[in-house]
Structure 1
Amino acid sequence: MELILWLGFYFLTFYAILPAVVSRIFGFRVFMKGKSADAVALTFDDGPDPEYTPQLLDLLKSHGAKGTFFLVGENAEKHPELVARIHREGHVLGIHNYVHHMNWFLRPSTVKRQIRQTSDLIESITGEKPMYYRPPWGIVNVFDYSKLGHLQIVLWTSLFGDWRKRIGADRLYRRMKQKLKPGQVFLLHDCGSTFGADRDAPANTISALSRILDDGRKRAYRFIGIDEMIAITEQAKRKKKKKDANLRENGERGRKASIGPFKKLVVGLWMAWEKLFHVLFRLHPVGDAHFFNYRIRKYAGPSLKLRDNYELHSGDRIMEIHFENQMLYEIGMKSKTSLQLAIRIIREIERVLPDMARELSTAPHGDQVKALYGVSMIHRGSESLGFETFDLPKGLFSRMTNMYLRFMIRIIHPSGRQRVREHADSLNPRMLIMERETLLKWADDSRPTRRVGRDRAGKQSQSPASEEHSEAAAEYDDTSFGRLV
């Protein structure tokens, strides 16, 4: 039962939930919002529709507006003349799967096949390969990031429930007017034949959009395709990057980055998910500060040879250590560099090891535990505490753990997104294992040195600051941050 829960936890987290959260909150590998002073991007899903798409095209043409149409392949195949007209009138064509099914419930190969089928269909009609993709309901799975090739995933900044007829044109117009601002990506629908939609709902969309286009003209707004919005946004980002570089060169300090509402939301979801994890896997706190949790379980990996001729085999009991996410987040927010983050994490592990050792005497099956176990991205420094490091066996668990830890670093590290991007090859989780006898030595308060296996003689004359700096230089490089999970 525990194995089923564990597999379910990882499947839901890494295949579906985390990709959706990361994409929506952080904009990872997707385009959602533009940086324009005078333009709005109109996007339309689920078409083409023989009744409403021609009306919508007439409306856009009368206002000189451009839009982006994310087509359902089976609809495009039924109405190739509408696909040709959309292209001929200068609008952007994108892919919305061949059938309108959620990617969470499709195998990666099925998603890829549907995208290729729709792409080939559009290219056969227009002579041009589509460059943009919007998954149905905006929901991606983890494989969408790597299986889409040249395609750019496009989400949105605002949607209005226009697939429901009961909203009415007037209320829909008020909703749209409230969001009518430069840089917005509107999600609308020109077809009501998909599951959950009302057949005649696009009539309200066209009516409300007519008034929005009038409002936009009065404000001197332009309505553009997603290709132009992305180009404008990339140009604005390049200008900002160049400006920031100039500020650094001139020695000027920028304002401290604040935690935005989106990051607060994802951190809250992360903390809530941890509480669920604690319940499902019955974690126990250890230490007065409750910064760490543990559980005792049976080891299920390959046989490992540890120091002093100890061996760890599948089925042996281990004490699995987990960081408290709240503590990890607070450490990350207080650390200015990856070096400081790594030092503080090692310090916390060092403080809790005596408690972990003493816990063996009271924990259920504690007398049968053969090793302390964790998974970490710390590549250096852990050996000085008595750990040995081993590569994770290649497979689903290794890949998903890697993804989770990279996601975690993006949240807690001062420049996490940049670190993951620049050091992707070196950020690989490893098993950290401390055999039982070494762990028990930490329970001995009379030992002359605090760290097992580390001679700190000759450093007593150093100041705390210089000691910390020298230890950091000896134990860490810029990619050695991480955590036990």
Structure 2
Amino acid sequence: METLLLWLFYISTLYAFIPGMISRMFGFRVFRKGRTQRQIALTFDDGPDPLYTPQLLDLLKQFDAKATFFVVGSNAERYPEIIKRIHEEGHQIGIHNYVHKTNWLMRPAMVKKQIAQTDHIIHQITGERTYFYRPPWGIVNLFDFSKKNDTQIVLWSSMFGDWRYRVGTERLTRRMLKKLSPGEIFLLHDCGATLGANRDAPSHMLEALEHVLHEASKRGLRSIRIDEMIELSNPGNLARLDEAWKSRHKVPILPWYKKVLVFLWLVWEKIFHLVFHLETTNEEDPIFHFRSRSYQGEAVVMQGGARLEKGDRVLELHFDNKKLFEIGSRSKSTVQLAIQMIRGVEKTLPELAAYIRNHPELGKIKALYGVSMLNRGPEQFGFTVADLPKGFFALSSQLYLKLLMRVIHPGGNQHVRRHAEQLVPKLIVMPTDLLLSRFADKGSHRPIANHVNDPEGLEATIPC
């Protein structure tokens, strides 16, 4: 009997205790603290919770802070609308097992099943998969280290006992302020329903966090997602993990008919550019191509009250088809596609403003003009969205853009069929004066991508 107990002790030590100590003390194959200048990472475990997580999201939005939520799969399954909101508001979602059970007490196959099950739930709700993982109580086992191509284990640099109600707001605030410095990863909890926690403890956490976010703002510190923290701390590491994950999970290859469509599409674009003498602000990495022409549509009232009338000069925008396809093929979901497009537009609008200023012959340009299959995205940049007059142009634009979405969208035909009623081409216009005032001085402009509350709303923002 003693021999059996001794063997059990040796096995448990090798399986769980030693790996746990190595990860905590030396950071072996885990990410536990960043190396940043002005950033911290707020992370929240055990949720979502129907009472406290929405309050937390409201607080984060108030301070324009981004966070990472390590969710329990069974809770995510129970409250999908909260998961969807977390995702749509730009926060990161990670895995905290399907049930809140320590990895020390589970076989490797069971841990793998817990992770896969939770990932599947997140994907069903958001359309995105995640490889960020925090084991409950931060306890890893020997086989967790072997999943380096499947998961990025994320621990923390600071925890505060916020799961205990008796800690109280004042003591919790002092503890958090003491650790408020660049690179810190805060471990907090938006749910008090797990073993060892107090149900109402998150109420004190929310009060303390509000004080901490106020102080962080005074010090010029901001909270970012874990993926951003990793990239800032170890440039290239996230890209390598992403490539390893893709190769392991076999990203689908385009079928032959899509390859033919893409080839013909890109040939047509070259011909179109030659015939209509389109220009760009960046030959090496173009986002938009454009040409000056007279506006021939109905009058449109733009932001600021200016009217675009028939005969006014406009700069007609066309999204670069090759760039559009590259973004679509790299994106694993609608939201990734949207975010990449947001960044591309955000980068190009200051270039367009500088181009207009440096070309006096464009001084009579009254507005930027384009046709887009969109929901709510362009208003974030200052565009006005209007319906196209019914007729041949509107119908042909709709057919073309639906074909385009089938080729470049991660969801392909399935997405087009599911959202057919939303895929309606719209007119988008922005006054040149607004473009110049908002984007000509790039140094004073805060990135729009940080303020987009609904990235999925840009999923079809594709000027043709």
Query: TM-score scaled by structure 1?
Result: 0.48
Displacement of 1:68: 0.2
Between Structure 1 and Structure 2, how many residues are aligned? 238
**Contact conserved, 1:30 with 1:152, CA < 8 A, in 2?**
yes
2:218 aligns with 218
1:236-275 matches, within 5 Å, as: none
2:21 aligns with 21
2:94 aligns with 94
Whole-Å separation in 1 of the counterparts to 2:72 and 2:120: 13
What percentage of residue pairs aligned between the two structures are identical? 59
1:40 aligns with 40
1:34-73 matches, within 5 Å, as: 34-73=34-73
Displacement of 1:72: 0.2
- What is the letter of the counterpart of residue 42 of structure 1? L
**Partner SS for 2:192:** coil
**Partner SS for 1:143:** helix
Is 1:230 the counterpart of 2:222 in the alignment? Answer: no
Cα-to-partner distance string for 1:87-117 (whole Å, 9 max, x where unaligned): 0000000000000001101111111101100
Residue 237 and residue 85 in structure 1: after superposition, are their counterparts in 2 closer, same or farther (change >3 A)? closer
Whole-Å separation in 2 of the counterparts to 1:86 and 1:176: 23
**Contact conserved, 1:70 with 1:94, CA < 8 A, in 2?**
yes
Runs ≥4 residues deviating over 6 A: none
Whole-Å separation in 2 of the counterparts to 1:155 and 1:232: 17
Whole-Å separation in 1 of the counterparts to 2:184 and 2:69: 16
Cα-to-partner distance string for 1:12-47 (whole Å, 9 max, x where unaligned): 221011100000001001000000011000000000
- What is the letter of the counterpart of residue 33 of structure 1? K
**Partner SS for 1:40:** strand
Whole-Å separation in 1 of the counterparts to 2:17 and 2:74: 28
1:39-438 matches, within 5 Å, as: 39-147=39-147, 149-235=149-235
- What is the letter of the counterpart of residue 84 of structure 2? A
Whole-Å separation in 2 of the counterparts to 1:113 and 1:12: 21
**Contact conserved, 1:35 with 1:233, CA < 8 A, in 2?**
yes
Whole-Å separation in 1 of the counterparts to 2:107 and 2:236: 37
**Partner SS for 1:57:** helix
**Partner SS for 1:70:** strand
Residue 210 and residue 76 in structure 1: after superposition, are their counterparts in 2 closer, same or farther (change >3 A)? same
- What is the letter of the counterpart of residue 208 of structure 1? A
Whole-Å separation in 2 of the counterparts to 1:189 and 1:182: 21
Whole-Å separation in 1 of the counterparts to 2:83 and 2:64: 19
Displacement of 1:5: 4.7
2:434 aligns with none
Whole-Å separation in 1 of the counterparts to 2:188 and 2:61: 17
Displacement of 1:4: 2.1
Cα-to-partner distance string for 1:398-438 (whole Å, 9 max, x where unaligned): xxxxxxxxxxxxxxxxxxxxxxxxxxxxxxxxxxxxxxxxx
**Partner SS for 2:16:** helix
Residue 87 and residue 236 in structure 1: after superposition, are their counterparts in 2 closer, same or farther (change >3 A)? closer
Residue 148 and residue 191 in structure 1: after superposition, are their counterparts in 2 closer, same or farther (change >3 A)? farther
Displacement of 1:148: 6.2
Whole-Å separation in 2 of the counterparts to 1:114 and 1:230: 24
Whole-Å separation in 1 of the counterparts to 2:148 and 2:47: 21
- What is the letter of the counterpart of residue 56 of structure 1? L
Whole-Å separation in 2 of the counterparts to 1:42 and 1:148: 23
Residue 101 and residue 212 in structure 1: after superposition, are their counterparts in 2 closer, same or farther (change >3 A)? same
Displacement of 1:236: 10
2:377 aligns with none
Residue 208 and residue 236 in structure 1: after superposition, are their counterparts in 2 closer, same or farther (change >3 A)? farther
Displacement of 1:2: 5.8
Whole-Å separation in 2 of the counterparts to 1:74 and 1:26: 32
**Contact conserved, 1:67 with 1:226, CA < 8 A, in 2?**
yes
- What is the letter of the counterpart of residue 176 of structure 2? M
- What is the letter of the counterpart of residue 52 of structure 2? Y
2:388 aligns with none
Whole-Å separation in 1 of the counterparts to 2:167 and 2:236: 36
Whole-Å separation in 2 of the counterparts to 1:96 and 1:81: 18
**Partner SS for 1:228:** helix
2:30 aligns with 30
Residue 102 and residue 237 in structure 1: after superposition, are their counterparts in 2 closer, same or farther (change >3 A)? closer
2:358 aligns with none
Stretches of structure 1 lacking an aligned partner (at least 5 in a row): 239-485
**Contact conserved, 2:231 with 2:237, CA < 8 A, in 1?**
no
- What is the letter of the counterpart of residue 44 of structure 1? F
Whole-Å separation in 2 of the counterparts to 1:169 and 1:110: 38
- What is the letter of the counterpart of residue 201 of structure 2? A
- What is the letter of the counterpart of residue 35 of structure 2? K
- What is the letter of the counterpart of residue 141 of structure 1? N
- What is the letter of the counterpart of residue 43 of structure 2? T
**Partner SS for 1:47:** coil
Q: Whose Rg is larger? A: 1
Whole-Å separation in 2 of the counterparts to 1:173 and 1:84: 29
**Partner SS for 2:66:** coil
Whole-Å separation in 2 of the counterparts to 1:2 and 1:188: 41
Whole-Å separation in 1 of the counterparts to 2:59 and 2:202: 13
Residue 143 and residue 236 in structure 1: after superposition, are their counterparts in 2 closer, same or farther (change >3 A)? closer
Displacement of 1:67: 0.3
Cα-to-partner distance string for 1:115-146 (whole Å, 9 max, x where unaligned): 10000000111111012000000001101111
**Contact conserved, 1:35 with 1:236, CA < 8 A, in 2?**
no
Query: TM-score scaled by structure 2?
Result: 0.50
Stretches of structure 2 lacking an aligned partner (at least 5 in a row): 239-464
Whole-Å separation in 1 of the counterparts to 2:20 and 2:126: 32
**Partner SS for 2:166:** helix
Query: CA RMSD for the aligned pairs?
Result: 1.6
- What is the letter of the counterpart of residue 166 of structure 1? R
- What is the letter of the counterpart of residue 78 of structure 1? R
Whole-Å separation in 1 of the counterparts to 2:202 and 2:43: 13
